[in-house]
Homo-oligomer: A and B are copies of this chain.
Amino acid sequence: MEKLFNIMELLGIIAFTISGAMVGIEKKMDLFGVMFLGITTAFGGGIIRDIMLGNLPPAMFESHRNIEIAAGTALLVFIIGYLTREYYSRHLDMIETINNVFDAVGLGIFTTTGIQIAINTGYGYNKFLLVCLGMITGVGGGLLRDIIAARTPVIFAKHIYAVASIVGGMSYLWFLDIDFQQSSAMTLSILVTFIIRILSTVKKWNLPRIN
């Protein structure tokens, strides 16, 4: 179980790092900027969650390993971006789509792992707090990425973003409640968030708006 959790977290870190690094390249940042933005996207949500929980210093500083993996991932994205730069500039739409998928994977994973960490810290009795912290963990990194890169935060511009995280988080608590195994609950709730995000992008679902 511990193991599945670590693998999931690692996948989330890699997915968000890729998404952040791609935004950095799009914004013509230099190598450091691309790596910084990738790492911030990957760890920002978790840092905000740990601050909220009073888990200080934040867990990410406990070990190098995850940051090294994120740094390596961002470097790789930069190199691939460099090698394919011709192709890159002519296919921005496709790049954006790929980025969206990685972002949705990270959103799903971090929502669920964020809730699990809050449960481990002893807040299992407060479901409202759990869902909030899951959303903060899932959404925080992308929000920081967009503020730093001076993009309109995806959370407002895109269809059903935080809502996907909230629904995914509630589904995790519900799966645990009806006695699913933790590994199944985790996997299923990640899929819930991921599918809602992707469907809402593909189908262009929109929340009402006043024009």
Interface residues of A, Cβ cutoff 8 Å to B? 25, 28-33, 36, 51-54, 56-58, 61-64, 67, 78, 81-82, 85, 88, 123, 126, 128-129, 132-133, 147-148, 150, 152-153, 155-156, 160, 162-163, 206-211
Contacts and interface: CB of A to CB of B under 8 A. Distances in A.
B150 A152 contact: yes
B210 A82 contact: yes
Nearest to A160: B32
B156 A210 contact: no
A57 B56 contact: no
B155 A209 contact: no
A210 B64 contact: no
A104 to B, nearest CB: 17
B52 A58 contact: yes
Contacts of A56: 51-54
A57 B118 CA distance: 10
A163 B36 CA distance: 11
Contacts of A81: 210
A8 to B, nearest CB: 23
B29 A156 contact: yes
Given A54-B56, A56-B52, A57-B54, A28 B210 contact: yes
